[in-house]
Amino acid sequence: MNISSNLSSINAHQQMMNVNANNVANVNTDKFVPSDTRMSEGNGGSVIANTRAATDTGSQKSQTDLAKELPDQVVVSGATAANVTAIKTQDEMLGSLLDIKA
């Protein structure tokens, strides 16, 4: 059992939430160009967060789109909960295995 892929996913989703929070915090900042985070698979099943600035449209107002940012927060919450559940299950299975050997 290996929880490193679950931990890398939690860390990547935390980075995504940090970027998302910065975008939302700047929703009223003139000329703000938000960043976007995409997930990709790394070595050994790990998850990597790739963050880049969105395309600047030249708008004088903030380019943050709350219709995108808020659903992204739901995705991050669900992914983190799923990974925490997987880690707890692995921990319980290991504990049961150790009880059997004892």
**What integer best gives the mean pLDDT of the chain?**
91
Q: How do residues 54-73 score in pLDDT, each as one tens digit?
A: 999 999 999 999 999 999 99
> What percentage of the chain carries pLDDT values higher than 90?
76
User: Residue 68 and residue 75: Cα distance in Å, rounded?
Assistant: 11
Parallel, antiparallel, or unpaired: how do β-strands 47-53 and 35-41 relate? antiparallel
Overall average pLDDT of the 86-99 stretch: 80
Q: How do residues 13-61 score in pLDDT, each as one tens digit?
A: 999 999 999 999 999 999 999 999 999 999 888 999 999 999 999 999 9
pTM given for the model: 0.84
Do the Cβ atoms of 74 and 41 come closer than 8 Å? Answer: no
User: Residue 6 and residue 29: Cα distance in Å, rounded?
Assistant: 35
